[in-house]
Amino acid sequence: MYEQKGTCMHELLDIVNEYDEIIDQKYRNEIYEKKLSYFRVINAFLINDKKQVWIPRRTKHKKLFPLCLDTSVGGHVSSGENYQQAFERELKEELNLDSAQCRYEVIAKLTPYEHKVSAFMQLYVIYTQISPKYNANDFESAEWIDILDLQEKLNRGEPTKNDLPILVKILDQFVDKS
């Protein structure tokens, strides 16, 4: 849900307690100004048969983390949405993919307290062999990369969205088990 305030759109997000139960609502800008972590997000990685992950680079116009590496798909769970609805919406908005035509699964449910991530989060893996037609407003480039090579890049200090190193470690553990 969005509300017009001046010339800026402010996204209304649900605020949750430590059990991920909705207790309030706040606008996204207020959440970031106050550095809160009691809100919900989704993230997903595209992975192919070679166990490579599709990693995009954010555009320079992004307010948060410009030109940083990112998950294949990510976004806020808007007020009134659940994780699955946000995943389906973000997949369509960022990668022009329909979740009904994708094979995917939830691989983790993360919290700021247990996992040191920025928000309550559901993490998905999407199995595909194709490079998606990404939204040029979100990403300026992308590449398929081996998870170990990606971890090496991250260890060398490649600029990333804040949760990416943690999420890549979780992905690596998941891929090792499968």
104-150 pLDDT, tens per residue?
A: 999 999 999 999 999 999 999 999 999 999 999 999 999 999 999 99
Core vs surface per residue 65-79: b (16+ CB within 10 A) or e: eeebbbbbbbbbbbb
**Res. 63: pLDDT tops 50:** yes
pLDDT, tens digit, 9 for 90 and up, residues 93-108: 999 999 999 999 999 9
Instruction: Return d(Cα 154, Cα 166) in angstroms, integer.
Output: 10
Point out which residues pair with 26 in neighbouring strands.
Answer: 13
Give the model's pLDDT for residue 5: 39
Q: What is the DSSP track for 91-144?
A: HHHHH---GGGSEEEEEEEE-HHHH--SSEEEEEEEE-SS-----TTTEEEEEE
**If pLDDT is split at 50, 70 and 90, which confidence band does 10 have?**
confident
Q: Residue 176's pLDDT is what? A: 81
pLDDT at 3: 40
Q: Which residue has the tokens 């659940």?
A: 82
Residue 164 to residue 19: CA distance in whole angstroms: 23
Q: Which class would CATH give 2-177?
A: alpha beta
Question: What pTM did the predictor assign?
Answer: 0.91
Looking at residue 173, what is its pLDDT?
A: 94
